[in-house]
Structure 1
Amino acid sequence: MPGAGAAPGAETVPGSGPGPGRAPRSAPFRPGRASDPAARKRGADTRALTQLLFSQLKELEPGTAEHGRVRSALIEANLPLVRYAAARFRSRNEPMEDVVQVGTIGLINAIDRFDPDRGVQFPTFAMPTVVGEIKRYFRDNVRTVHVPRRLHELWVQVTSATEDLTTAHGRSPTTAEIAERLRISEDEVLACIEAGRSYHATSLEAAQEGDGLPGLLDRLGYEDPALDGVEHRDLVRHLLVQLPEREQRILLLRYYSNLTQSQISAELGVSQMHVSRLLARSFARLRSANRIEP
């Protein structure tokens, strides 16, 4: 059994275990810490009842009907702990009933592994296990953005190897160390880490993020004024090829080379009046060929 304050089962979940020589990251659940005197009394009653039930459970033979009854009473008495832990995951958009059920599994595991003789309060012991079970559920089962099954399974191995190497070296392992441990390439490790971030999609219209930056819509979405030009250029190109070659050249000299009618007449060896008539005739043809309403 882990030492005082440790959470059994939580060491397999990143960020949920206390680590060597450290206290659990999550604050221990203490019913009755609210300012409401009635809530404090309920919390004190729950702690006293839990202590009494554990003392009874210790004297009973596992598998007997009486042992099962006391164990069920312990689970029922500490369900508020599970609901408290589940509330931390309310933003994950997962039904609270499912999260509470998963957390209850962690509570049952904690009850089965708890030793009251170690001098640790049960809520302090059980909370990391409950939270770890919920985190494992979200890690392995809940994804809005789905990744290939092989990559997902490999990501679980990368996470486990990262925890082992962190414990062994006292620091976060490098990508090369993880790849060597699992005998895979560094590119596969990086792909797994990227897949591990794909828990759910973020709305482009989401509110501002916690670091004060604008939302994704404000940072990524904008109207490109050049988009209209793309459509217009494509339309002009389609219409120009329908004109005679000389009229195409006159239009290009006038509107792409920015020559005046006098300069065009000198370039082509025709009168300026003739250039003007050709331009007018070209515009009439283009307008008749363009069936799109302005």
Structure 2
Amino acid sequence: MAPEAPRIDPGPSRRHRGTDSYDDIEPLFGEMDAAPEDSAQRVALRAEILNRCLPLAEHIARKFSGRGEAYDDLLQVARLGLLNAVERFDVTRGSSFLSFAVPTIMGEVRRHFRDNTWSVRVPRRVKEIQLSLGPTIEILSQRLGRVPRAREIAGELEIDLVEVTQALIAGNAYQTSSLDAPAGEDGESAARALVDSLGSEEASYGRLEDYLAVEPLLGELSDRERQVLRMRFFESKTQSEIAERLGVSQMHISRILSRTLGWLREEALRD
């Protein structure tokens, strides 16, 4: 069992609509770094950062639930990963905290599974590579300001892309569970057999992964393309409203959206 993470007051439940609680959190790191060591101000800022980012740890813990480990244990490990991310994040590099925290927390949870057992026989070479994935992803995330792609991980480790892919797949071979074992151990739903949940997936689980796939590509778009995407998907404006705001035709906005979304989809799926 991983060392106990410090207790963090989760505070009131937060809905992730509009602006997430961990968006624009980087300035707090700057203030924390500027505060004297062990000062009350530094302690308060650190606690604020941890509390604002708790939903991220909860989301990742829930994503790994149902694999033979209790949700409460996974949440404890995920919170420990969040604490590690806060301690290690270097705001001077200019990268977002989210792009660094996600692989750090997920790495901590994967290490928890890895240290318990492997339920499927995995070749030694693949195990060795899998052990190095967490630290490598963490280093690259800090350096690149986003989650690294498989090719970048292979380049950093100086190994073949196929080996990286095999190690990533092997990450699912930690521990098997009976299909009749109860799921929903997070207290948010009544216990039911794991088999009853097969074929259905919580819609919000994929949002974080979708964001991580697309986020590094947004910087390659033009200002106009990013502006149109922001108004359409974050401000929920219609194409006609966007066209009126920008002084162009609705058809022009339609073409921008179609071209931009097509390119993002193609690039995100490439790796």
- Is TM-score (shorter-chain normalized) higher than 0.5? no
TM-score by length of 2: 0.43
TM-score by length of 1: 0.40
Choose 1 or 2 for highest CA Rg.
1
